Structure 1
Amino acid sequence: MIDKISKAFKEFYGEKPSIVVSAPGRLDFLNTHQDYKGLPVSAIGVNLRTYIALAPSNNGVVAYSENLNAVDEFQPGEITL
């Protein structure tokens, strides 16, 4: 999967990603939004993962979703963590 993500990144952006990271999927069994409230969560693992490929840019952030075939752009200062 990492090779597939790297290839899609290069085809879309014209360069290889600096890094590709992955995280396991999980679902909140009761769908109660407990996790971001800091409360206990009844989570279950699923056989899915999220993959993200990244590279530095001087032109803000361009996010491309392969499965949604969608692009979104953000300029510096628009994103706060």
Structure 2
Amino acid sequence: MELHRKPLRTPPPYPATDPFEPFAVAAVELADEGLIVLGKVADGTLAADLTIGMEMELTTMPLFTDDKGVERIVYGWRIA
């Protein structure tokens, strides 16, 4: 077996805002499944608003609108 190294090419959609706009992410454990899911936190929520152990809700939010006018949606978290 051979190890190969390839350059990192991020697949779409990974738009970059100019200038960069910081955002919060959260690693939330799904209680029933025991999985930890990493996702963007709803716009307007600051990292300072988040505390360990707080209840979160899964939501969807627009990530960006592409060149064809299609709004790209992602899963994310909001404070419950």
* Greater relative CO (CA pairs within 8 A, separation 6+): 1
- TM range, smaller chain: under 0.3
Q: Which has the higher helix share?
A: 1
After TM superposition, the score normalised by the length of structure 1 is 0.28
